[in-house]
Amino acid sequence: MSKGVGPILRMSDDIDGIIAAARDDNPGQEIRVIDRHAYVRIEGDPPLRLTRKSIEAHIGRDFEMRELQLMMSSFSGKIDSSNSDELIWSRNHPGEPPVESASEISES
């Protein structure tokens, strides 16, 4: 399996809604969920998109994307947070060195 991109989130009451939102925001793509009890890795092939609108629809309350960033202990890939209503994870551009957070958790 190729290495996907996406967030690694600390457990919270909103995890199931965030996973459902990731599936809605990435139609036709397999979203893989790895539950390690203390954290959940959500990954897919790049680009992986997650929107505030989808999260709110699944958790039933207002949600600010900064809440997701606070839950995120790490991530795989390159993250674009330039839009306050969505986060997009992608792979590095050709020729760029690998971009992964310093606290990337090994799947060994």
Token pair belonging to 74:
């790490």
Rounded to whole angstroms, the Cα distance separating 47 from 86 reads 12
What contacts 88, CB < 8 A, 6 or more positions away? 47, 48, 49, 50, 79, 80
Give the pLDDT of residue 93.
58
Q: What is the pLDDT of residue 75?
A: 96
**Residue 102 carries which DSSP code?**
T
- Taking residue 76's Cβ as centre, other Cβ atoms within 10 Å add up to 24
Q: What predicted TM-score, i.e. pTM, was given to this entire model?
A: 0.82
Phi, psi of 34, deg, nearest 5 = -115, 110
Which one, of 41, 64, 40, lies nearest residue 53 by Cα?
A: 64
Which residues is 49 bridged to in the sheet?
88
Domains defined for the chain, CATH in brackets? 6-90 (3.90.56.10)
Q: Which three-class secondary structure state does DSSP give residue 83? A: coil
pLDDT, one tens digit for every residue, the chain (108 residues): 457 999 999 999 999 999 999 999 999 999 999 999 999 999 999 999 999 999 999 999 999 999 999 999 999 999 999 999 999 999 975 445 544 443 343 343
